[in-house]
Amino acid sequence: MKRASIKDIAKIAGVSVATVSYVLNRKEGSRISEATKKKILDVAETINYTPNKIAKSLKTNKSKLIGLIVADISNDFYSNIARNIEDEAMKLGYTLLIGSSDENPEKFKKLTELFSEQQVDGMIVAPVVDSDDAIKKLIKEEYPVVTIDRYLKNVAIPGVMINNSEISEYICEYLIEKSFEEIIYVGYDTKLPHLLDRQEGFDKQISSSLVKYKKVLIGIHNITEDIHHELSENLKDIQKKTAIYFSSNKLAVAGLSYLNKNNIKVPQDVSVIAFDETEAYKLFPTEIDYVQQPLVEMAQESVKLLDAQIGKYIPDGKKVSFSAKLVNKNSVK
């Protein structure tokens, strides 16, 4: 069967090919009535019109593909942000290609090269430690790039993030006001700036109080084993009124599994706040208080920033920061 074309749509709708092209490509500035637009779209749907992306990319020099590199697609945060980015990209006619770097700079580099070979129009990336050179290479080649969730201190490209330092200050202040005798911060031993911001926000607030506190830093590998060991060392006296602030959902799930295994009840024996939500929290007896990031808004802005660059590369280094919020459940006493 012959593939339906825009010429077929134009003939059936009784309009010019140019008019059909304007409507299907959602070009702005044309004076086409809503009735004509609806007629063209109805005809396109009736004859099952599918745009020829290969021909279109050759004509416009655009593939309408976007590459997304996340740190760990199995993490609820990144799988949800990917879904939202995909939804936003589709609204603008883009198809999303997704890769997971697994916090590995070499894999991150290979993904950027793979996406380049696929001729994506641009990339949205969550940088990993030591990924600076791979991103600088993209910039040198004038590839549109936007960072999501994370950022690099020494590379000026547009990005979307949250107020990591401020929300950690707020969490710490919230726990201080609850009159805990001890607060434990559980974070990563890392060079990633956004995670250091969370840690520094906590440090800044706790240092101005008289509350006893501990800081436990875990490597990105062997999280469960390491966090179980650290909590066994730091939770020997559960008679104290203690709170734990886990700075990621992966750390929280590993920590909660230790508490559950050792019959340490939340919040009766220890209170808990976690950064980011995850379906895994539902496996535990108590609903967990967590920091919620505005995923839809972050996705919308990242696609918006990337689309603005595509076709008119302007590496202005614009960073857009959104505010996270604490969602209170039942894990803080």
Beta strands in 163-206, from DSSP E residues, in sequence order: 182-188
Q: What is the pLDDT of residue 318?
A: 81
- Contact call for residues 182 and 280 (beta carbons, < 8 A): no
Q: What share of the chain is helix, strand, coil (3-state, %, to 5)?
A: 45, 20, 35
SS3 category, 127: coil
Q: What is the pLDDT of residue 123?
A: 96
Q: What is the pLDDT of residue 58?
A: 40
Task: For residues 149 and 232, give the distance between their C-alpha atoms in angstroms, rounded to a whole number.
Answer: 31
What is the rounded average pLDDT for all residues in the chain? 89
Query: Residue 317 corresponds to which amino acid?
Result: G
Q: What is the pLDDT of residue 247?
A: 97
The helix (run of H) or strand (run of E) holding residue 273 is strand 270-275
| 123 C-beta neighbours (distance < 10 Å), count | 24
Task: For residues 68 and 217, give the distance between their C-alpha atoms in angstroms, rounded to a whole number.
Answer: 29
Q: What is the pLDDT of residue 46?
A: 83
Q: What is the pLDDT of residue 59?
A: 45
Q: What is the pLDDT of residue 2?
A: 56
State in words which class domain 61-161+295-323 has: alpha beta
Tell me which residue of 120, 97, 101 sits closest to 109, measured CA to CA.
Answer: 101
pTM across the whole model: 0.79
- Contact call for residues 250 and 103 (beta carbons, < 8 A): no
Domains 6-51 and 164-293 share a fold: no
| 2 C-beta neighbours (distance < 10 Å), count | 5
Q: What is the pLDDT of residue 314?
A: 62
Residues (pLDDT < 70) of the chain are: 1-3, 26-30, 50-61, 313-316
Alpha helices in 61-151 (DSSP H): 76-91, 105-117, 132-140
Query: Would you identify the CATH topology of the domain 6-51?
Result: 434 Repressor (Amino-terminal Domain) (1.10.260)
CATH of domain 164-293: 3.40.50.2300
Which residue ranges make up each domain of the chain?
6-51, 61-161+295-323, 164-293
Q: What is the pLDDT of residue 33?
A: 85
